[in-house]
Chains A and B, each alone.
Chain A
């Protein structure tokens, strides 16, 4: 049984990584109030169903809470770290509109994301050798086309240090 649920595509990594909304650092809590029945909450319901997994995947440190059937009209509320609360009314809106709206007011813009990606790329030099945590490779023997690691296959005799030393000695 590979697929579970109504739209199991929402559980795939590919779908989650396509999420566009990455919140600014100051957004800490997101709250969605919506109703389970009614035409006006339709957009909010779809937003919760399709976009919340993406948002949570991209912002693992933001707390997201859903409240059902508490108010007559649906809305989103964001709590920033300086105590400010941002109210977003989503009555009658389409889920794509809601997501674009949220991205505009509280998401990191494309230029900022680009700049951050660039900075991260600059900080890690791909030509460095070192522990796997910081660099891509630890030894040249890991690269394709190079001499394989002597721990797995013994080197040909001419490349070993002791043979070379013997040859150098016997020559002098």
Chain B
């Protein structure tokens, strides 16, 4: 009697093996087969004393029972295989319809339209911001121009100020030059200075009254 081991569903492909060959036969190509590791002894270890004369005898098979069971198992396996393939096909069909069915085309077209509408809206927003930016740049340019002009005017004014100041100084100097002492005036000025002695002394009291009359010849 074959040792039947049926896996849970096709989804969970884990098959614990008691008989590895049977598991390998039943498993579909892609399943992971876990080797059953049992027993502590290696190949070279001698047989245990209690198992010395043991002859392993497989359980006896009843032929009638065997036939009946084989038939039943074959039918059962047939049904299970058919069910599994049905389900697999259903899943594949669903996937196919999802991707290439009539609904899919409609949906794709709808999405296209929505996408185009959204892109147009986005472009409009971009244009709006572009216009705002152009305006702003224009204004900034005008500002810069104005500032430059003002700076130039300021500079001009400063220059004019400077020139005027220098001219004033020159005039003042010219005025003062009239009172200078030159080689021609020297004698005359000396005479004048000796004739008019100037008295720089003065006294001041606590109230702030100035008194110019002091002790001098």
Chain B residue at minimum C-beta to C-beta distance from A78: B122
B118 touches A105 (CB 8 A): yes
A104 touches B118 (CB 8 A): yes
| The residue from A87, A101, A106, A130 contacting B12, defined by CB atoms under 8 A apart | A130
Q: A130-B12, A134-B11 are in contact. Are A105 and B122 (CB under 8 A)?
A: yes
B residues less than 8 Å from A88 (CB atoms): 122, 125-126
A73 within 8 A of B: yes
CB distance from B25 to the nearest CB of A (A): 24
B66 within 8 A of A: no
A38 within 8 A of B: no
Number of interface residues of B (CB under 8 A): 14
- Report the stretch among B31-39, B127-135, B193-201 that lies at the interface: B127-135
B residues less than 8 Å from A134 (CB atoms): 11-12
Rounded to whole angstroms, the CA-CA distance of A37 and B178 in the bound complex is 65
Number of interface residues of A (CB under 8 A): 15
Q: A130-B12, A134-B11, A134-B12 are in contact. Are A91 and B118 (CB under 8 A)?
A: no
Q: A87-B126, A130-B12, A131-B12 are in contact. Are A105 and B133 (CB under 8 A)?
A: no
B121 within 8 A of A: yes
B119 within 8 A of A: yes
Q: From A88, A89, A92, A134, name the one whose CB has the most chain B CB atoms within 10 angstroms.
A: A89
Q: Mark A108-138, 1 if CB is under 8 A from B, else 0.
A: 0000000000000000000000110010000
B residues less than 8 Å from A89 (CB atoms): 125-126, 129-130
A residues less than 8 Å from B12 (CB atoms): 130-131, 134
A residues less than 8 Å from B125 (CB atoms): 88-89, 101
B177 within 8 A of A: no
Those of A38-92 within 8 Å (CB) of chain B? 73, 86-89, 91-92
Chain A residue at minimum C-beta to C-beta distance from B123: A87
Rounded to whole angstroms, the CA-CA distance of A91 and B11 in the bound complex is 52
CB distance from B194 to the nearest CB of A (A): 78
A86 touches B132 (CB 8 A): no
B3 within 8 A of A: no
CB distance from A118 to the nearest CB of B (A): 15
In the complex, 23 of the A-B residue pairs with CB atoms within 8 angstroms, ordered by the A residue number, are: A73-B133, A86-B119, A86-B122, A88-B126, A89-B125, A89-B126, A89-B129, A89-B130, A91-B129, A91-B133, A92-B132, A93-B129, A101-B122, A101-B125, A104-B118, A104-B121, A105-B118, A105-B121, A105-B122, A106-B118, A130-B12, A131-B14, A134-B12
Using CB atoms and an 8 Å cutoff, list the residues of chain B in contact with chain A: 8, 11-12, 14, 118-119, 121-122, 125-126, 129-130, 132-133
